[in-house]
Amino acid sequence: MKYFSFFTIFCFTIINFTFAGCGSCNVSKKQPISPNGNFVTSISEDGRINGLVLASCGMCNFGMKDKKRCSLAIQINDIAYDIKGTGIDDHGDSHAKEGFCNAVRIANVKGDIKKNVFKAESFVVKKN
């Protein structure tokens, strides 16, 4: 019985570590309200993007279910895209009050979307 209890607690702990996120995120299951403005609303046939988009943590705020950890993403028309070329902590602490894990920010971006990944040439977060 003692070994069974130990084994059960051990398995529970391993499963928790495997499927848990970073733990610091204030995850909200609600979709953010899209602000008004001159935002990118469609992707051209060649995948070129140049303009304002919503940027945040894909796992914490955009509901990207394939993510197991915090990562930067952009959202265009309720579709989130991973970003290559810049990281979530390259623009400040992602878990700060206004960080990407706790806030949806506006960014002026330039780059290409290929295979559902945005390859950033330029990524500038707008000041609040």
**What CATH number should be reported for the domain holding residue 34?**
2.40.50
Say how far apart CA 50 and CA 122 lie, in whole Å.
9
pTM: 0.70
Whether 33 maps to a domain, the answer reads yes
pLDDT in tens, 43-57: 889 999 999 999 999
Once rounded to an integer, what is the mean pLDDT over residues 105-115? 92
Residue 117 confidence (pLDDT) above 90: yes
Whether 78 maps to a domain, the answer reads yes
Average pLDDT, the chain: 82
What is the pLDDT, as a whole number, of residue 18? 64
Whether 88 maps to a domain, the answer reads yes
Residue 29 confidence (pLDDT) above 60: no
Say how far apart CA 35 and CA 75 lie, in whole Å.
12
Residue type, position 52, single letter: L
Whether 1 maps to a domain, the answer reads no
Domains of the chain: total: 1
Domain containing 115: what range?
22-125
Once rounded to an integer, what is the mean pLDDT over residues 97-114? 91
What is the pLDDT, as a whole number, of residue 23? 58
Once rounded to an integer, what is the mean pLDDT over residues 74-89? 91
Whether 8 maps to a domain, the answer reads no
- Going by C-beta distance under 8 Å and a sequence separation of 6 or more, which residues neighbour residue 9? none
Dihedral, CA of residue 40, residue 101, residue 123 and residue 120, to nearest 10: -80
